[in-house]
Amino acid sequence: MASLDWSQCPAVESIPGKVSGAWVLRGTRMPVAAIFENIQAGANIDDIMEWFDGLDREQVKAVIGFAARSLDKAPAYLP
């Protein structure tokens, strides 16, 4: 499975030394992976907003939307 190019998502950033360089919501220490881990565990955006102070709902929605739009692209198959 190909990984997403998170550098193309304006809602996130990766800074060496900040959360070990993980992709986080811009201006926070919230790893993008934590959003999807919580959704996988059954959480919704309202839950995430309640559990993690300082998040911007539009950033969370942008991250989810970015991942969803990546599914619109046709997969590249190796010959």
The string of pLDDT tens digits covering residues 26-68 is: 999 999 999 999 999 999 999 999 999 999 999 999 999 999 9
What's residue 1's pLDDT? 44
pLDDT at 2 over 60: no
Q: Using alpha carbons, list the distances in angstroms from residue 31 to 12, 18, 21, 77.
A: 9, 10, 10, 30
- Each domain of the chain, given as residue ranges in start order, spans 33-72
